[in-house]
Structure 1
Amino acid sequence: MKIFNWNNVRLVLMFGLVVFLFSFTSKKNTKRKLTKTDVVFVGESSLFLKTEAVNKLLIENKESVSTIRKDRLDLNKLEQVLNAQEMIEKADVYVSIDGVLKAVVKQKTPIARVFNDEGSFYIDSEGNKMPLSPNFTARVPLVSGEINKKNNKNLFKLFKIIYDDAFLRKNIIGIQIMPNGSLLMQNRNYNYQIDFGGLINIEQKFKNYKAFFQKVSLDSSLYKYKKIDLRFTEQVVCTK
């Protein structure tokens, strides 16, 4: 005859109690209302989008976040809403244990600003259009002229090279796309114009320009030039 084991009974009862309490707590927690929202921007320190605008998207235009129950939140939908915003590159949304609706937002990064018949807009680091912001103006090259399917890919490559290079990013402030497809550039501190030519041998042309600038800037003769010609990949031709 087996002896009844009270230890096993206690273990079963304790396990059942834990499951019940966990289920009860989880159910009660999901019915709780949110306490607040918290928006965290990562990446670029300059805010093209205000926190208030993100909050408005998060609470779907409701008057107060405290009216929203946790179990009625669709986090995937909220992420889709934020990611559809034209200044946001990526957003992650979640709810903390204490009822805070949090959004971690990465803004798009503008690398050039275009002026053409369509108006004015940024080109971001992925090659897409990005609207201007009333909150902040990015210091990127101002681009004028026609951007089309034929030159779009190479122009984006050019913008990206300039943005990723500390010297070029500081030096090149304007790019004019001529009707024949060649480029004229303006620099920040000197009066000369840069004749870049067509969108070929981009890396080599910039390499030549940087080498020329480093050499000539030592004797302050840069102020004497009116044009720096980079069309020839083997040399830099200067006009006074």
Structure 2
Amino acid sequence: MKKLNWRNIWTNVRLLLMLAVIAFLYSFTSKRNEDRKIKKPIVEFLDEGSLFLTHESVNKLLIEKNQEQQTIGKVNLDLNKLEKSINEHDMVEKSEVFVSIDGVLKAVVKQKTPIARVFENEGSFYIDSEGNRMPLSDINTARVPLVSGEINAVKEQDLYELLKLIHSDDFLKKNIIGVEVLHGGSLKMTNRNFNYVINFGKTKNVEKKFNNYKAFFQKAVQDSTISKYKEINLKFTQQVVCTK
């Protein structure tokens, strides 16, 4: 008869017992984690510098079916639903909602970025960095170019691309404060520090015109002649025509 190897049997038994203990502890911990009540939520904005909605307004969106978060078990919380409700807010570009290990409900929110403010007969609104309408905020005002005039005289996409270029360029973002759409689709712009008007023409060769304007501005500042001009004409891409 073959002799039993009690050492190997005991080793296997101990291994099985260890696995059973680990499984029990994991199940126990998971159950406690699922039953954990949600603590007071925390709202974090990725761009704290200029808020267009309040922490309180996001907190309200984190309340599910009029229940206080503290009475909801972690396992019963629908994070996708909460995240969707925040993302549907007119001021929000995207958000992420999650619960930390210690039961804190947290929402990380990225706001929409306004790049211009449009004035129309129906009212005023922002254009965001994605080219969509964004309502004005009750708590903050964005320092962006003001767009007015016959807005429908220029293609919406063309106007958006021009405004996006202004917003993405450090010099233009600081310099251009107003864009007026004239009859026929030509643009007239105003700058922050000087009294001259920029006759931009239509939304064609936009980058070339802005490069011409930046080259002119740099030279005129160096020559100390910048304050003498009344109009800067950028309609002709081969030259900048200035009127004193």
TM bucket normalised to smaller: over 0.9
Relative to structure 1, is the Cα distance of residues 181 and 150 closer, same or farther in structure 2, using a 3 angstrom cutoff?
Answer: closer
1:164 paired to 2:168: yes
Q: Which residue of 2 aligns with 1:77?
A: 81
Letter in 2 for 1:36: K
How far 1:61 sits from its partner (Å)? 6.8
For 1:147 and 1:181, how far apart are their aligned partners in 2?
8
Of 5, 19, 36, 1:3 maps to: 5
- For normalisation by structure 1, the TM-score amounts to 0.95
Of 125, 133, 139, 1:135 maps to: 139
Q: Which residue of 2 aligns with 1:89?
A: 93
Letter in 2 for 1:35: K
1:173 paired to 2:177: yes
Cα deviation 1:91-145 (Å, max 9, x = unaligned): 0111001000111111111100000123111111111111111111111000013
SS at match of 2:45: strand
For 1:164 and 1:44, how far apart are their aligned partners in 2?
20
For 1:130 and 1:109, how far apart are their aligned partners in 2?
9
How far 1:220 sits from its partner (Å)? 2.7
- Larger CA deviation: 163-172 vs 14-23: 14-23
How far 1:44 sits from its partner (Å)? 6.0
For 1:82 and 1:55, how far apart are their aligned partners in 2?
9
Relative to structure 1, is the Cα distance of residues 198 and 149 closer, same or farther in structure 2, using a 3 angstrom cutoff?
Answer: closer
1:87–1:107 CA contact under 8 A, matched in 2: yes
For 1:82 and 1:149, how far apart are their aligned partners in 2?
35
1:196 paired to 2:174: no
1:44–1:107 CA contact under 8 A, matched in 2: no
Q: Which of the pair has more CA radius of gyration?
A: 2
2:153–2:182 CA contact under 8 A, matched in 1: no
Q: Which residue of 1 aligns with 2:224?
A: 220
Q: Which residue of 2 aligns with 1:46?
A: 50
List gaps (5 residues or longer) in structure 1: none
For 1:147 and 1:80, how far apart are their aligned partners in 2?
33
For 2:230 and 2:154, how far apart are their aligned partners in 1?
30
1:113–1:140 CA contact under 8 A, matched in 2: yes
Q: Please identify runs of 4+ aligned residues in structure 1 that moved more than 4 A.
A: none
